[in-house]
Amino acid sequence: MQLLDGEETVALASVWRVDESAMGSGTALILWHAGRVRVIGADPGLSSWLSGRFVRHFPEAEGLDWSQVEVRTEEVEIELDIETGLVARAGDIEVRIAEPIGQREVSVDDFALDGVPHHLSLRRAPCRQAMITVGGRLLAGEPRVDESGERPQSTAFLAVDEVWSR
């Protein structure tokens, strides 16, 4: 999810439930806010790998300062239903995404991560609502939602059945 205030990114959150990867399995939450990155997961190797290999290279992260990274070893609880939304909690951080606007299969043959093309396939559901709280404080910003076209778009979305390969 990317929360914006006008054109400015206020926060970027990426929540992961990994069933199988080169770094094992587990859950992670990566949060960029106010020039600081929090990388959270029970397995710091997995969560750091997700942050450095994937999230920091997503188009939404382009131009964001990724130099101040804090890695925390904590459980990440995830409740995800592609029909209704997501709630993820890690320590004092809570991420909520709700009100899906349909869903569709997506397949990209050349999704570049740090200049390396990857194949990506997933089922994606753009959502109308998204919020992040840190220490009980709601962060500013909101997702950008466009329902005008044939395929609704949002900077807050759910992804399931996600597979990356090179």
Distance CA 73, CA 24 (A): 16
- Helices H, strands E: what count in the chain? 1, 14
Is 134's pLDDT higher than 90? yes
**pLDDT higher than threshold 90 for residue 50:** yes
Scored b (16 or more CB within 10 A) or e, 12-47 reads bbbbbebeeeeeeebbbbbbbbeeebbbbbebeebb
Residue 35 near residue 61, CB atoms below 8 Å: no
78-131 per-position pLDDT tens digit: 999 999 999 999 999 999 999 999 999 999 999 999 889 999 999 999 999 999
pLDDT number for residue 150: 87
